[in-house]
Chains A and B, each alone.
Chain A
Amino acid sequence: MNYLVNNFNVVAELFLQHLQLTLAVIFFSLLIGIPLGLLLARIRWLRGPVMSVLGIIYTIPSLSFFVLLIPIFGLGTRPAIVALTAYAQLLLIRNWLVGLTTIEPAVLEAARGMGLNGWQRFWQIEFPLALPMLLAGIRLVALSSIGIGTIAAFINAGGLGVLLFQGVITANYSKIFTGALAVTVLSFAANYFIRYLEQRAEFRIYGKRI
């Protein structure tokens, strides 16, 4: 605890870095994952191959993935964001796809029959109905990025992992403890916040159920 009290500014800055990294990963994951998921929802035969590729990416050990990307993206946050975004696709798309494909067919048929065009069907019907699952996916992405993101400190991406690595090298247990505590707080906060959004989205569709 001593470490946290004496170096609050340092810890706060690393905390913010970690948050930024996580937000960047969520942003880029959505940028790729939402259209890709939509594509898979429309074109059934693409699902198998794409999901297996994402599965294979997900199994690459994180430290080696970071290091492998250094020749392309150099050191720092860029290879970290790229690797974490690549991992995130499996978690995000699997959930988003479930959300999109479990919408009652009658609902979509009614929407088509009433003359909503593709864009209107997406924004007014499919997106809100698949939103709880999308948020569940985002929550998993956030939690896994916060966790694996600590390792990214190894390639100079900053974040709370810095405290852990430095603490281990210098055998500073107070530093290690502070780092671990801060990561845990961030994880809990992210989990709680996104779960709250999820419940709100669910409530609109299913009513009082949770």
Chain B
Amino acid sequence: MTIEMISSSAETIETPVSESGEIVFEHVSKTFATNSYPAVDQVSVRITAGDLVVLLGPSGCGKTTLLKMVNRLYEPDRGKIWIGGKEIHTLPVNELRRQIGYVIQQVGLFPHMTIQKNISIVPRLLGWEEKRINDRLEMLMQLIGLPVSYLPRYPRQLSGGEQQRVGLARALAADPEILLMDEPFAAVDAINRERLQTELIDLHSKLNKTILFVTHDVEEAFRLAKKIIVMRAGKLVQYGSPLELVTQPENEFIEELVGSNNILRKLSLVNVNSILKARENQSFYTSKFQPVEKPSTVLHPEDDLRSVISLLLCSGKDSLPVKDSEDQLLGMVGYSDLREMLISNLPSE
């Protein structure tokens, strides 16, 4: 089945003419000399410019190896990789790397350099003027939410979470189109991890970079990803949006991994708005209106169905009104909608 899938996905890869942030893998394979099995096995996938794509899979399945082939820390044995329509070997290796942000779990800040020097290292290599570097530094510190008073400090004077923010700023310093992140939040405590994840989502929506993000944490993948590449034993098993993985898992491995049977996860991937839309299509939404006696709880179109359940349970009602940001009543949503939603296939967004 995986073989069929790979050959079909390979067909979708045509001549790569594309935006500069696009990454295309074509039949990429790599076997380390010390191993008898391939670390990455015939991976073909096209990553659209500007997407936040998560590489997900159990430890040892080849995520890091695939990632490191993009900035040529590893060389593939076979296959080709293009970024922005250019085969990566057509550039001098260090020029390529300076165009790609790289963030790793252990951060790897330079301990003998101040935060300022750490962040400005690539712009300096690229010969930026002092003024431009300083402006950029200020902008980056704001972006990662650290005060500029941190610039003269050394990495050892920062907490783990702050160091990883600096690592991110350093990777973004020369404004690369592509950001490679290898389990960047794995070593950070749970509270800070969630905060960093939120910040990354925020940052991605602001900057519109292509982000290839490696994790083995399913929750993290679902929080962040626009699309998820699931890998297993070096092979790409499925490539799709979180909702697609949950509703149309390619096989039992995916089903188990993403918890396709987990009702709450399913519900968390759909929001109120899609119920309203689905109803519109079936044009029976008016029939669902009920007389309202001043309910205190209100739903919003962007609420996911998981929070709708908890709001319904808390309110003790069978349905709750949905209002938009201008306090306009859009309809009622209740248990019956959730039931319908779960019985029928979930609507795609």
What chain B residues lie within 8 Å of A110 (beta carbons)? 102, 104, 107-110, 167
| Cross-chain contact A113 with B97 (CB below 8 angstroms) | yes
Cβ of A123 under 8 Å from chain B? no
What chain B residues lie within 8 Å of A116 (beta carbons)? 94, 121, 125
| Cross-chain contact B94 with A129 (CB below 8 angstroms) | no
**Chain A residue, CB-CB nearest to B96:** A115
What chain B residues lie within 8 Å of A205 (beta carbons)? 111-112
Option from A104, A117, A120, A125 in Cβ contact (under 8 Å) with B106: A104
Cβ of A204 under 8 Å from chain B? yes
Q: Which residues of chain B from 152 to 198 have a CB within 8 Å of any chain A CB?
A: 154, 156-157, 167, 170-171, 180
Given A113-B97, A113-B102, A115-B95, answer yes or no on A207-B156 (Cβ-Cβ < 8 Å): yes
Cβ of A181 under 8 Å from chain B? no
| Cross-chain contact B111 with A117 (CB below 8 angstroms) | no
**Chain B residue, CB-CB nearest to A207:** B156
Cβ of A114 under 8 Å from chain B? yes
**Chain A residue, CB-CB nearest to B93:** A115
Cβ of A111 under 8 Å from chain B? yes
Give the number of A-B contacts (CB < 8 Å).
68
Q: Which residues of chain A from 83 to 120 have a CB within 8 Å of any chain B CB?
A: 104, 106-117, 120
Given A113-B71, A117-B94, answer yes or no on A129-B112 (Cβ-Cβ < 8 Å): yes
| Cross-chain contact A207 with B97 (CB below 8 angstroms) | no
The number of chain A residues with a CB under 8 A from chain B is 22
| Cross-chain contact B108 with A104 (CB below 8 angstroms) | yes
| Cross-chain contact B108 with A115 (CB below 8 angstroms) | no
**Chain A residue, CB-CB nearest to B107:** A106
Kindly state the separation between the CA atoms of A112 and B102 in the bound complex, as whole angstroms.
Answer: 10
What chain A residues lie within 8 Å of B157 (beta carbons)? 207
Kindly state the separation between the CA atoms of A129 and B112 in the bound complex, as whole angstroms.
Answer: 7
Given A113-B71, A113-B104, answer yes or no on A107-B111 (Cβ-Cβ < 8 Å): yes
| Cross-chain contact A114 with B104 (CB below 8 angstroms) | no
| Cross-chain contact A112 with B111 (CB below 8 angstroms) | no
Cβ of A128 under 8 Å from chain B? yes
Q: Measuring CB to CB, which residues of chain B are less than 8 angstroms from any residue of chain A?
A: 71, 73, 93-98, 102, 104-112, 121-122, 125, 154, 156-157, 167, 170-171, 180
* 18 contacts across the A-B interface (CB closer than 8 A): A104-B108, A104-B111, A106-B104, A106-B105, A107-B111, A111-B110, A113-B73, A114-B102, A114-B122, A115-B94, A116-B94, A116-B121, A124-B110, A124-B121, A129-B111, A204-B112, A206-B156, A207-B156
Further contacts, 16 of them, CB under 8 A, given A113-B104, A115-B94, A204-B112: A104-B111, A107-B108, A107-B109, A107-B110, A107-B111, A109-B104, A110-B102, A110-B109, A110-B110, A112-B73, A113-B71, A113-B180, A114-B98, A114-B171, A115-B95, A205-B111
